[in-house]
Chains A and B, each alone.
Chain A
Amino acid sequence: MTQPVLLKVSALKVAYGGIQAVKGATFEVRQGELVSLIGANGAGKTTTLKAVTGLQPVAGGEVEYLGQSIKGRGAWDLVKQGLVMVPEGRGCFTRMTITENLLMGAYVRDDNEIEADIEKVFAIFPRLKERRDQLSGTMSGGEQQMLAMGRALMARPKVLLLDEPSMGLSPIMVDKIFEVVHDIHQRGTTVLLVEQNASRALELADRGYVMESGEVTMSGPARQLLDDPKVKAAYLGE
């Protein structure tokens, strides 16, 4: 574990108005890792990601990316440096076609490999290719999740943040999505995976963190968390 730390969050606090949604989150993601952040509804996982990507102001603590503080930087600014998020609920542009959504993913790029990368995304998700000229709003939830992930890949992320990619999907689609997450990681992208599906997320991960009511309360190698009695009782339904 001597790989450099790409993303480091220390004692993060985030509030919505007067409500403290995140009260102290500390975790890090090293280059090449797949790290899972698990927790129940309302634990503050999405809020943490929003603060990291500049969508929600940081009330306290520190967020560092590539060794530099990124507090207060806009989301649009971080994408250029490879910090890319697939938001909760996918956020596809429903009034644009699949191809246009993918092009939006490549918004920060101006090289000439964009077309080739679209074909790569189509190779991962053949379903998207069939519907390339269809409006994304007409697609199923699973297809939209594929599109959201493909769109994020178009930015060529260094660190990919995934917020509950399996939410609301059928078992087959869940399998497919986790397979792709695994694949993306195997090809060298660093991944922070936020999930409620703790067992699946920890099975894929190198390390994991557990978040409870706004705080990170447990951490460790993913295998170890999977065997932890407390984790088993609370998140694995055993």
Chain B
Amino acid sequence: MDYFLELFFGGLTRGSIYALIALGYTMVYGIIGLINFAHGEVLMIGALVSWTFTTAMAGSGMPGWVLLLLSVPLAVLVCCALNFSIEKIAYRPLRSAPRLSPLITAIGMSLLLQTLAMIIWKPNPKPFPTLLPPDPIDLGGPVITITQCLILGLTVVILSALMWLVNRTKLGRAMRATAENPRVAGLMGVKPDFVISATFVIGAALAAVAGIMWAANYGTVQHTMGFLPGLKAFTAAVLGGIGNLAGAVVGALVLGLVEALGAGYLGELTGGVFGSHYADVFAFATLILVLTLRPQGLLGERVADRA
């Protein structure tokens, strides 16, 4: 049971990070129908900015948690500016182009950002400093780290704030209206460029925080680190029903748990034939299974083919 709970918390943590990333994919898709493949790179930049700041300030005498905390707004700012520019420079000119053009541009943007990050930060993996007390918290059996606790708590706060923004504010209404019917939203006075920029900026802020969480939890940063969480979060968004915010969160949590529990029990279940490194297979098998049974995703609505 303790083992199960530990896996469970691990999966929940992983799923929380996926959720913050998946929201960026799904919001952008909801508004302009683009799978923004460069989204994973935004989280990588966020993590690297945080790494640069925290290692540069390591000698300042400030406690680790303060450094980590200060690096969050910095990374958020950089990522928001970055994603705003990406949309404006790379995607906006292609807004009325055939769908494949912005998609390929997004893949190109992803490679470009990775390469730039490699040049700026060098290709080697870098240890992310241990800034939070590493002592585990004993829950009378299962143990959970402070980092995990913070990730879970912060995710709850961020998701609540996002829900409030989307459901209760004028900007949120404009975003939902544009996602449903951009022409009619325009007739109400909503400027599409504004809503699209806002969506990219919000997605980037979530990704920056997710990047720092990922780095703090798994301990290394590198220019390629955005790829896997990006891909998993995209998977989670599709799993939940792309374009649906609640779906992205549910999909992400399901994926995180399936991965963690799958990896934890896989060896046992298969008599040691498959090791825990088959977790990814589990994740994608879940995706295929769900999409076979429910092509629109867990919470998605059945819509005409938009791709």
Contacts and interface: CB of A to CB of B under 8 A. Distances in A.
A84 B191 contact: no
Contact of A91 (B176, B184, B192): B184
Interface stretch (A100-108, A164-172, A193-201, A204-212): A100-108
Nearest to A92: B184
Interface in B170-211: 170, 173-174, 176-177, 180-181, 183-192
A142 interface: no
Contact of A107 (B170, B181, B183): B170
Given A100-B173, A104-B188, A155-B189, A75 B183 contact: yes
A93 B180 contact: yes
A79 interface: yes
A53 interface: yes
B180 A76 contact: no
Given A75-B183, A93-B181, A103 B192 contact: no
Contact of B180 (A74, A77, A94, A155): A94
B186 A55 contact: yes
B124 to A, nearest CB: 48
A87 interface: yes
Contacts of B189: 76, 79-80, 107-108, 155
A85 B187 contact: yes
Size category, B interface: 10 to 19
Contact of B177 (A54, A55, A104): A104
Nearest to A110: B170
Interface string A158-197: 0000000000000000000000000000000000000000
Interface in A9-44: none
Interface in B148-189: 170, 173-174, 176-177, 180-181, 183-189
B184 A79 contact: no
B235 to A, nearest CB: 25
Contacts of A108: 188-189
A75 B186 contact: yes
A87 B187 contact: yes
A194 to B, nearest CB: 15
B187 A75 contact: yes
B183 to A, nearest CB: 6
A84 B184 contact: no
A151 B187 CA distance: 11
A104 B180 contact: no
A236 interface: no
Nearest to B194: A76
Given A75-B183, A91-B181, A107-B170, A96 B188 contact: no
A76 B181 contact: no
Nearest to B186: A75
A93 B174 CA distance: 11
Contacts of B183: 55, 75, 87, 91
A74 B191 contact: yes
Nearest to A86: B187
B188 A95 contact: no
A20 to B, nearest CB: 21
Interface in B52-97: none
B304 to A, nearest CB: 15
B100 to A, nearest CB: 20
Contacts of B192: 76
A79 B187 contact: yes
B306 to A, nearest CB: 16
Among A54, A75, A77, chain B packs the most CB atoms within 10 A around the CB of A75
A58 to B, nearest CB: 16
Nearest to A101: B177
A104 B186 contact: no
Contacts of A91: 181, 183-184, 187
Contacts of B187: 53, 55, 75-76, 79, 84-85, 87, 91
Given A55-B183, A91-B184, A93-B181, A107 B176 contact: no
A67 B190 CA distance: 24
Contacts of A87: 183-184, 187
Contacts of A95: 176, 180
17 contacts: A54-B186, A55-B183, A74-B186, A75-B187, A76-B186, A76-B187, A76-B188, A76-B191, A79-B187, A87-B183, A93-B177, A93-B181, A96-B177, A104-B173, A104-B188, A105-B188, A107-B188
Interface of B: 170, 173-174, 176-177, 180-181, 183-192
Which 8 residue pairs are nearest across A and B when measured between Cβ atoms?
A108-B189, A91-B184, A79-B189, A75-B186, A107-B188, A107-B189, A76-B191, A76-B186
